Structure 1
Amino acid sequence: MKAAQDAPTPPASAFGGPARVLFYVQHLLGIGHIARASRIAAALMQSGFVVTVVTGGAPVDGFPGAGIDHVALPAVKAGDAGFKGLFQLDGTPADEAFKAARRDLLLSTFERLQPDVLITEAFPFGRRQMLFELVPLMEAATARRPRPLIVASLRDILQERPKPERDRETLDFVNRFYDQILVHGDPAFVRLQETYPLAAEVADKVRYTGLVAPPKPEPSPERYEVVVSAGGGAVGRELIEAALEAARIRQRAGPWALITGPNLPQADFDRIRAAAPDGVEVFRFRRDFASLLASATLSVSQAGYNTAGDILQAGCGAVLIPFTTGGETEQGERAERLERLGLARVLKQEALSPERLAITIGEALALPRQSTASLDLDGARHTARLLADSLRQRA
């Protein structure tokens, strides 16, 4: 895709003033979902939409972003890396009364805002744990007159489902409630039908936006040979610990940065920082992460959607260790595709060790940098344009 021009001013709301968007996003483990949704929300605001982001996960510093209207539902998290069970942040199970309070707040927010566009991040292709509040929300939206444009917001690669009936259930939700499916990916990289077997039955609703990557960053004055990052940190401890030992093994040409993520337990963070050898700096979080990558030689990370976007914009080399615990397939698929394009080296999670990581880092550092110009990385701005055009067509 070619980069879009600046999105035009969106049409007026059916209730007067600029068009209104309610964007629902539920993150249960990492921070990838809220990070991507925040980038899209910012682009919608810059295009003139009035945006409210409704979140339901643990607070994450810096998201959904400055100036974005935010409604926080009582927070829940996944019970484990397999996403089994819903729990409050103190570990208490989310019982029926707790769920009812969330549902009622979500519905009252919808009624108060009267949005022209309702976006659900991941659902109905994911987040089945939230059916207790999302089905009532969808029913309220489809019953309202005028009816809002109802849109699903999806990353480019979906998790493989072991039960085919789940794919059929998703299709039923799409046919019952949704007007559009916005796939935040470049179809030249991967198409929806490659990870969702029933995509042909909803092809008329699918729109590709390009990858939702950050703007191309200015290189940081802090220069690291290798930047190791673990996303949110909830499941990245093994990677960080292996990288710490790999740094001892390698004869480093420059300093390394290890970014553990905000969700790593404090005791683990303190232990890792105390064990870091000379030339290795340990951080919990860096707001200038994209700029650090732009000045780095190599990124070492998992293969989450947002991290991949950061790496592609920065243009640095990459070693990817995709997260595959609990039968997760999405990161492995993305990592393999990037490796086939010559944009990364892949080390499988089950093969991760300090010695193997040190070797793979050495191999990646020896590779020439590859251009990413062929991939569309302007997905947030394309999303704003697509929604503005859709509302005009409806009007």
Structure 2
Amino acid sequence: MSLNTKPLSANEDWCLKRRVLIHCQYVFGIGHFVRTIELARSLSMHFEVSVVNGGEAVPNYDLPFGVDWIQMPAIYKEETAEELRSVDPIKSLEQCFAERDVILECTVRRIMPDVLITEHFPFGLLFESEVIRLIERVKIFNPHSKIVSSVRDVIESKNGGMHDDHICRLLNRYYNLVMVHGDENIVPFSVSFPKLSHIQVPVLHTGYVVQTIGQKPQKLDIPRVVASVGGGRLGGEMLDSILKSHRSIFEHWEHSLMIFVGAFQQIKDDLQSYADENSLSSVTILDFNRLRYQDALANASLAICMGGYNSVIEAVSAEVPVLTYQRKFYGNNQEQECRIQLFQKAGFVESFGSDELAPESISARVLAVLAKKRPTSHKIRMNGAEESCNMITSLFGNA
């Protein structure tokens, strides 16, 4: 199925009367947050946009001007834990959900949105009760509202999951559109959601929603390697291994190393202690900082990252060699593994696994990537925010 997604005109003043509410929730990394930010930034050029955020506040990350940002009591989840947890240790999980419910009801009453976008739901069901109540409230206050699912390129499994039938039922009952933020020529959605044909509403690939890394040439004394685990809590073992392999790589290839720890990690002091004790003067270890990371990446000679949505596509968009860490996740979550394998098949990245974290293995992989010829251009659709805006506009026709 398809929609008429003609480009927006700056003179379409009627769009300014439309109100968009985005529900955003993340529990590990910040991929959902980053996509929501870029989507909200683009939509705010044509709509009144509000975001209700249920994840932990992200440090050193500027929110888009003109977007109404509503922070709910934050909830997260440890990788190996079975239950959700309140970020505020004083509040119980039950208190968090109760307060969030009040905030969501008040927000819907105040905004009466024309469009509700649910980031990742219903493809992720951890917050099903909350989001279903939100959808039903939106429909009560604005029966003509449109409900849109915003989802990344890959779900959690290569072969689908046990809840896929339920997900299809929710989409067919409540939704008007599914926006898949990826390029079907690189990562077909059916790879991780094989019951795609069971969805009865339009499912459209927007291209990747990404803040493209601009080239800002700087005169560096020596080449730079940038290593990052993105914004989340996981992957500290990768940064530790890269740090410990630095001297060995430096003996064959003189370079500087910039390491960015995750937004919610507490490992910077340990990494810095190792660098100091081993006199690694060409190593810089930094807290998570979105703008500084982008500037570093724009001038990198090699990017080393995990397989998260934003980590991969931002590194690829910087047009530098990319080495990705194919980490094994608890519960057999294969999202990053699937993305890495498909991007590697297309020739955009190289990878190493959890069994290759020894410094000598990392050194060999880095030197091999640097010696390999890269594609001369990256033919990947990266206009996902703009296309999403066009798709949402088209839901209303010319009304």
Summarize deviations over 1:143-192 as a string: whole Å, max 9, x none.
Answer: 34442110000000111289854111111110111100000011111222
Distance 2:216 2:156 in 1: 33
Aligned counterpart, 1:59: 57
Q: 2:111 aligns with which of 113, 116, 124?
A: 113
Partner of 1:293: 297
In structure 1, the residue matched to 2:385 is 380
Answer with 219-228 or 177-186: which moved more: 219-228
Which of 173, 176, 185 lines up with 1:176 in the alignment? 173
Deviation string 1:12-47 (CA, Å, 9 cap, x unpaired) is: 36xxx521110110011111110111011101113x
The one-letter amino acid of 1:148's match is S
User: C-alpha separation between the residues in 2 aligned to 1:329 and 1:204?
Assistant: 26
Equivalent-residue separation in structure 2 for 1:206 and 1:161 (angstroms)? 19
Q: Distance in 2 between matches of 1:26 and 1:153?
A: 12
Partner of 1:98: 96
In structure 2, relative to structure 1, the CA distance for the partners of 1:5 and 1:139 (3 Å cut) is closer
Q: What aligned pairs does 1:1-395 form with structure 2 within 5 A after superposition?
A: 7-9=8-10, 12=14, 18-46=17-45, 48-61=46-59, 62-78=61-77, 80-82=78-80, 84-91=82-89, 94-126=92-124, 128-160=125-157, 164-202=161-199, 204-219=201-216, 221=218, 223=220, 224-250=223-249, 251=251, 252-265=253-266, 268-276=267-275, 277-286=280-289, 287-326=291-330, 327-392=332-397, 395=399
CA distance in 1: counterparts of 2:219 and 2:272, whole angstroms? 19
AA of the residue aligned to 2:383: D
Work out whether residues 37 and 64 of structure 1, in 8 Å CA contact, stay in contact via their aligned partners in 2. no
Amino acid at match of 2:35: R
Task: Classify 1:257/1:134 alpha carbon distance in 2 versus 1 (closer, same or farther; 3 Å).
Answer: same
Helix, strand or coil at the partner of 1:221: coil
Deviations 1:295-329 (A, max 9, x none): 11110010110011211210000110033311120
Partner amino acid, structure 2, of 1:262: A
Aligned residues: 383
Deviation string 1:67-87 (CA, Å, 9 cap, x unpaired) is: 321001111111x21463111
Kept in 1, the 8 Å contact 2:153–2:182? The answer is: yes
1:246–1:354 contact (8 Å) kept in structure 2 = yes
The two structures have a TM-score, normalised by structure 1, of: 0.91
**What is the letter of the counterpart of residue 339 of structure 1?**
Q
Task: State the alpha-carbon separation in 2 of the partners of residues 94 and 63 from structure 1.
Answer: 29
More displaced 10-residue stretch of structure 1: 308-317 or 61-70: 61-70
CA contact (8 A) 2:305 2:311 kept: yes
TM-superposed CA distance for 1:97, in Å, is 3.5
| Alpha-carbon distance change, 388 to 85 in structure 1, aligned in 2, over 3 angstroms | same
Cα deviation, residue 11, structure 1: 6.2
Alpha-carbon separation, structure 2, partners of 1:254 and 1:42: 36
The alpha-carbon deviation at position 367 of structure 1 amounts to 1.4
C-alpha distance in 2, partners of 1:242/1:122? 32
Give the CA deviation at 1:222.
6.8
Local SS of the residue matching 2:212: coil
Q: Determine the C-alpha separation between the residues in 2 that align with 1:230 and 1:189.
A: 23
Structure 2 CA distance for partners of 1:66 and 1:261, relative to 1, 3 Å: farther
The RMSD of aligned alpha carbons is 2.2
1:45-94 CA-to-partner distances (Å, cap 9, x unmatched) read 13x2111111011101325434321001111111x214631111144674
8 Å CA contact 1:303, 1:335 repeated in 2: yes
Contact 1:226 1:257 in 2 (8 A): yes
Give the unaligned 5+ runs of structure 1.
none
Whether the aligned pair in 2 keeps the contact of 1:51 and 1:68 (CA below 8 Å) is yes
TM-score, normalising length from structure 2? 0.90
Question: One-letter code of the match for 1:235?
Answer: L
Partners of 1:8 and 1:368 in 2: CA distance: 42
Shift of 1:203: 5.7
> Identity over aligned residues, as a percent?
26
2:122/2:128 contact within 8 Å kept: no
CA contact (8 A) 1:236 1:260 kept: no
Task: Write the distance in 2 (CA, Å) between the matches of 1:172 and 1:143.
Answer: 20
Deviations 1:341-383, CA, capped at 9 Å, x for gaps: 2211110124322221111111111112324432101111111
- Paired amino acid for 1:27: Y
